[in-house]
């Protein structure tokens, strides 16, 4: 019937899609996110918090 989708195997066969044998062929195929430095800032804050044992306090500029 027209509202039924083909099974995944049927769809792959119709499109002549083969299983992926080497995952490394996918590396570098999608551009990465732009680095705005936010991840590094979070890591720095976590390291500072663990080094200073801040117990969940948030540093302000005055500190």
Is 0.75 topped by the overall pTM? no
| In-domain check, residue 55 | yes
Domain with 54 in it: 8-60
Count of structural domains, the chain = 1
Structure tokens, 37: 């430095």
Q: Is 8 in a helix, a strand, or coil?
A: helix
Round to whole Å and give the CA distance between 27 and 48: 34
In a domain, 18, yes or no: yes
pLDDT of residue 60: 62
CB of 59 closer than 8 Å to CB of 48: yes
Average pLDDT, consecutive stretches of 10 residues, N- to C-terminus, the chain (63 residues): 84 92 84 79 86 62 55
pLDDT value of position 11: 92
Q: Is 2 contained in some domain?
A: no
Domain membership of residue 19 (yes or no) is yes
d(CA 30, CA 51): 37
């Amino acid at each position: 019937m027209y509202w039924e989708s083909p099974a995944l195997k049927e769809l792959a066969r119709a499109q002549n899609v083969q299983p992926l044998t080497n995952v490394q062929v996918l590396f570098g195929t999608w551009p990465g996110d732009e680095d705005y430095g936010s991840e590094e800032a979070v890591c720095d804050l976590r390291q500072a918090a663990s080094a200073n044992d801040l117990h969940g306090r948030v540093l302000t500029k005055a500190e």
